[in-house]
Amino acid sequence: MIFLTTLPLFWIMISASRGGHWGAWMPSSISAFEGTCVSIPCRFDFPDELRPAVVHGVWYFNSPYPKNYPPVVFKSRTQVVHESFQGRSRLLGDLGLRNCTLLLSSLSPELGGKYYFRGDLGGYNQYTFSEHSVLDIINTPNIVVPPEVVVGSEVEVSCMVPDNCPELRPELSWLGHEGLGEPSVLGRLREDEGTWVQVSLLHFVPTREANGHRLGCQASFPNTTLQFEGYASLDVKYPPVIVEMNASVEAIEGSHVSLLCGADSNPLPLLTWMRDGTVLREAVAESLFLDLEEVTPAEDGVYACLAENAYGQDNRTVGLSVMYAPRKPMVNGTMVAVEGEMVSILCSTQSNPDPILTIFKEKQILATVIYESELQLELPAVTPEDDGEYWCVAENQYGQRATTFNLSVEFAPLILLESHCAAARDTVQCLCVVKSNPEPSVAFELPSRNVTVNETEREFVYSERSGLLLTSILTLRGQAQAPPRVICTAHNLYGTKSLELPFQGAHRLMWAKIGPVGAVVAFAILIAIVCYITQTRRKKNVTESPSFSAGDNPPVLFSSDFRISGAPEKYESERRLGSERRLLGLRGEPPELDLSYSHSDLGKRPTKDSYTLTEELAEYAEIRVK
């Protein structure tokens, strides 16, 4: 119920100087507490020319027309009233002075309604005024709160109660105002329509915590048990504050992630989830979820929640870290280098968390870093040994990936120490093993004959490359005399290298020169000498060791040929079979050692015979002696 009103007051009066007419004034509304009383102020007027001797009046309830038989509240002529008003109504004004003020006591709810006054000047001079007053019976004080209470801004809250009972005056007190401020009593105020109110004020600066606070006002009447209370909840407006949000979130790639943002504000805020300036979801609510299905590394980053209303805004961020296994490492750097140059190779990958990066070569760790996304391998001065395949391996707790790369080191030719020549009978074979990158050109020089043979002459030279090694074989037949000097020369764009190839096993060469007949004769003489010495010692009764058998002869080394690893086993079996046949006397001549084999067999011959020519000759000689 609002007691302070801005409606204008209209006094309807009859002015004699203006001729006058029927009119009345009373408050359009008035209120009072149940059980108390109320005085309804009233004035009326009539034409002056009537000049009645006695003026009478009647108060009706809820209807101005007598023919409707409305309840009579007060009647000055007969004092006969409706039973509801017996002992409760009396006239406070003097009708002769055109004052029709009415007093109602012991108010109860059924007395609330419209009250009309009728003037009775006698005879036909009776008039029911259309103006009326509405009585409101109340039970609670009225707490007036400003339409907008904003946090941080001082407000004034008032408690107002009607004070229209001349017999009972209300007293006001505040309830639940602790922490808000000290009240002050403004006192009794007259309203625009002539009614009175009692007012108490409370000033305070509201806080966020005051929102929803229940503030009360109590009206009591001294010397009575009458006491009335009224309450109002404070609606404090304040800007949003984000009070609920995920901490930093770690999620495995492919999992579900739910981010929560909750804010405290009045009114409710507009919550917005954003990432890199893009709105992902928004709603007017206290809290808002952002659901991410099957997250990927692309969704890794910082997410922002913005809360705003008409009074301000707030924002907070949360970091989402998507954990995943390393991606396939990328290798950037020099893949081809010249011997002696510095080489820098960068291996990088992406993963979360950062991986352990390792670079291997032939199962040997060359460089490693922990929890880094890049690994730099630096070789200050590369050598041919640095040439080859490398592995860059990246791993973390979620998986492992690897990448291979090749480093090609270019260098001048190197002729390896296993390069040599070997002779058997009338054939000489020279092996030249060259390590080089790029592939060299190889030539064999015979200085004594002023001849140079290169690998283009397939009849004499066969070459085969394996990795950085180039193996060239020179085959010379019909070399019955001393073999010639052979110089191997290798050349590429980085340089030239030459080496005179040594002959392996000079004593073997001697046997090759003697030939098979000389070998048989020599063995026969050796056996005869041994037998002679043995018999002589026996005749002198000198104790000696047992005579030598054919198997006790000291071994005589003779290199028949050499072979390159990987030769087929058929050569071994065929040679064994031929030796067995010769020992059984199937052939009457010592075997010849043939080193002339086809080009397709080059590089496949055995490097060492398990059954040497020396053994064959020894066995053959023993058979002949017997």
Which superfamily does 416-505 belong to? Immunoglobulins (2.60.40.10)
Q: What is the pLDDT of residues 126-147, one digit of tens each?
A: 888 989 999 999 999 999 999 9
Query: Quick one: pLDDT at residue 136?
Result: 95
pLDDT tens digits, 183-212: 877 788 888 788 899 999 999 999 999 999
**Backbone φ and ψ of 186, nearest 5°:** -80, -30
183 DSSP β-pair partners: 202
Q: What is the mean pLDDT of residues 399-414?
A: 94
- Beta-sheet pairing, 142-144 with 126-138: unpaired
Distance, in Å, from the CA atom of 511 to the CA atom of 596, rounded to the nearest integer, reads 19
Question: Is the pLDDT reported for residue 361 higher than 50?
Answer: yes
Find the helix or strand (DSSP H, E) in which 576 lies.
Answer: helix 570-583
pLDDT band at residue 125 using 50, 70 and 90 as cut-offs: confident
Handedness of CA 620, 621, 622, 623 (dihedral sign): positive
- Cβ(301)–Cβ(276) under 8 Å? yes
Listed residue (477, 288, 324) closest to 396, CA to CA:
324
CB 539 within 8 A of CB 573: no
**DSSP 8-state secondary structure symbol assigned to residue 588:** S
Question: In the predicted model, is pLDDT for residue 625 greater than 70?
Answer: no
Average pLDDT over residues 172-187: 84
Looking at residue 2, what is its pLDDT? 37
Cα Dmax for the chain:
204
CA distance 359 to 114: 101
Which residues, in sequence order, are CB contacts of 510 under 8 Å at separation 6+? none
State how far the Cα of 471 lies from the Cα of 418, in Å rounded to an integer. 11
pLDDT given for residue 126 in this prediction: 85
What's the whole-number mean pLDDT along residues 168-192?
A: 85
pLDDT score of 622 more than 60: no
Q: Which residue do the tokens 């204008």 mark?
A: 8
Q: How is domain 140-234 classified at the architecture level of CATH? A: Sandwich (2.60)
Residue-wise pLDDT for 210-260, tens only, equals 999 999 999 999 999 999 999 999 999 999 999 999 988 999 999 999 999
What is the pLDDT at residue 190?
85
This prediction's pTM: 0.58
Q: Are 516 and 617 in contact (CB under 8 A)?
A: yes
Across the beta sheet with 214-220, the strand order is: 171-175, 214-220, 227-233
Q: What is the pLDDT of residue 501?
A: 93
Q: May I ask the CATH architecture of the domain 242-322? A: Sandwich (2.60)
Does domain 330-410 match CATH 2.60.40.10? yes
- Structure tokens that stand for 289 in this block: 């979820």
> Same CATH topology for 140-234 and 416-505?
yes
Tell me what pLDDT residue 533 has: 67
The residue among 361, 341, 352 whose CA lies nearest residue 301 is 352
What is the distance between the alpha carbons of residues 157 and 175, in angstroms, rounded to a whole number?
13
Pick the residue with more confidence: 514 or 34?
34
Average pLDDT of the residues in 59-76: 90
83, 72 contact by CB (below 8 A): no
Q: Are β-strands 441-446 and 23-25 bridged in parallel, bridged antiparallel, or unpaired?
A: unpaired
The residue written with tokens 């011997």 in the block is 339
For domain 23-137, give the fold.
Immunoglobulin-like (2.60.40)
Torsion of CA 529, 535, 536, 540, to 10 degrees: 160
CB 457 within 8 A of CB 504: no
Q: Tell me how long the chain is.
A: 626
Output the pLDDT for position 505: 63
Sorted by where each begins, the domain ranges of the chain are 23-137, 140-234, 242-322, 330-410, 416-505
Q: Is the pLDDT of residue 575 over 90?
A: no
* Strands 149-150 and 236-245, bridge-based pairing: parallel
- Kindly indicate the confidence band of residue 423, based on its pLDDT and cuts at 50, 70 and 90: confident
Tokens encoding 610: 């398990």
The per-residue pLDDT for range 379-398, each reduced to its tens digit, is: 999 999 999 999 999 999 99
514, amino acid identity = I
Residue from 519, 456, 447 nearest 483 by CA:
447
Distance CA 451, CA 430 (A): 15
